[in-house]
Amino acid sequence: MTDSGLFPTSVTTHTAASAVRRRGTALVRPPGPRLADGIVTHIERSPVDVPLARAQHAAYVAALAGAGWDVREVPPADEHPDAVFVEDTVVVVDDLAVLTHPGALQRRGEVEGTAKAVEGLGLRTVRITAPGHLDGGDVLQVGTTVYVGRGGRTDAEGIRQLRAHLAPLGRTVVPVPLHAVLHLKSAVTALPDGTIVGLPDLVDVAPFPTLRTVEEEGGAHVVPITEGTVLMATSAPKTREWLLDLGFDVVAVDIGEFEKLEGCVTCLSVLVPAR
């Protein structure tokens, strides 16, 4: 069992494993100069330290690389403050990349850079188009079930289009009504074994077969980066200890500057498994 804590320790922890197996490609987009102007919806705005955010992002990228992911940068979109949250621009299922139509008008220009990146990986591409809206942060894949948050950024037409794109791949799309939360994965994610964890007060829990409640908001956001390892934020130490006790390895990174913009570990990357 490994609790990597803060970097650079965790990079050393996974070096041997990464030398044996490359897991796929992690798409990221570094913070742009206007990061501090990012959209805030459900929390009060607080000052963002952009140089610190860049350092935190570099540690996040190091975590992915240390776990065996080949990191590739999406072309910059410096005119878009929220462009670092690259997950919102695409949903990858098997060899298909569904390019989104973000619910926030000011974020729609972020998608083209992501389109170039996924095409460079050899993925097939389709698009969510107007009048539909879909943010990738609203899409949680658990096996062949794809949960999609229905809230302020993703609408019914976006869900319909996603269902049509994914049905030929054998995926079942299940809508999840959201409450006062930005995205579905701001409240609910899944562990490597498929166990769903999160904050039940923020979503309609009826669509989920089970949901294990966490105590901390940051504990609701985990990214499986190996078969038994999760990436999570240092802002949820109780959840980290709980996951360690369950037998998972944990790599914890400080993303405090992104949390000021309602960001979490899920939205800073798109993981494309090797095929």
Told to judge if 267 belongs to the known catalytic residues of this protein, a careful annotator would answer: yes
Which has the closest alpha carbon to 229: 31, 54, 25, 69? 69
Catalytic residue among 133, 165, 221, 267: 267
The per-residue DSSP string of 92-141 comes to EETTEEEE-B-SSGGGGGGHHHHHHHHHHTT-EEEE--TT--B-GGGEEE
- Among left, alpha and beta (phi > 0; psi -120 to 50; other), residue 11 is alpha
DSSP-assigned letter for residue 151? S
Q: Can you tell me the distance from the alpha carbon of 186 to that of 233, in angstroms, rounded to the nearest whole number?
A: 12
Told to judge if 183 belongs to the known catalytic residues of this protein, a careful annotator would answer: yes
Catalytic residue among 57, 80, 133, 183: 183
Q: Can you tell me the distance from the alpha carbon of 73 to that of 152, in angstroms, rounded to the nearest whole number?
A: 28
Helix (H) or strand (E) holding 253: strand 249-253
**Which token pair is 32?**
């742009």
DSSP-assigned letter for residue 170? T
Q: Are 15 and 4 in contact (CB under 8 A)?
A: no
Enumerate the active-site residues. Answer: 183, 267
